[in-house]
Amino acid sequence: MAAAAQEQVDLGSLLRPQARVNRPQCAVCSSERVTRIALELEDGSQVDFTNCLDCDHRVWQQGDDVLSVERVLSKARRIPKAG
């Protein structure tokens, strides 16, 4: 099938986008199989959430600072205090 062959060519070019992009890495296992999401919290903070697909390590960062989960939650203030 010609279609399948063409897909492979496209994939190949996708795999080398810009070599200078700083790839996020897991701080625990150094895996590059991480998901990184940029978020804006309720208080306006710009944070990055990184989730490692290999060891499931999760980290919140604001710039170069690592935020604790408690810190993120207090910034987010999304927990309803319904009694």
Q: Catalog residues that contact Zn ion under the rule CB under 5 A.
A: 26, 28-29, 31, 52, 54-55, 57
- Smallest separation, CB 33 to Zn ion (Å): 8
- Distance of alpha carbon 38 from alpha carbon 50, whole angstroms: 9
Residue type, 25: Q
Residue closer to Zn ion by CB (options 23, 78) is 23
| Minimum distance, C-beta of residue 30 to Zn ion, in the bound complex (Å) | 7
Pick 6 or 35: Cβ nearer Zn ion: 35
Q: How far apart are CA 35 and CA 32, in angstroms?
A: 9
Two structure tokens written together for 4 = 């399948």
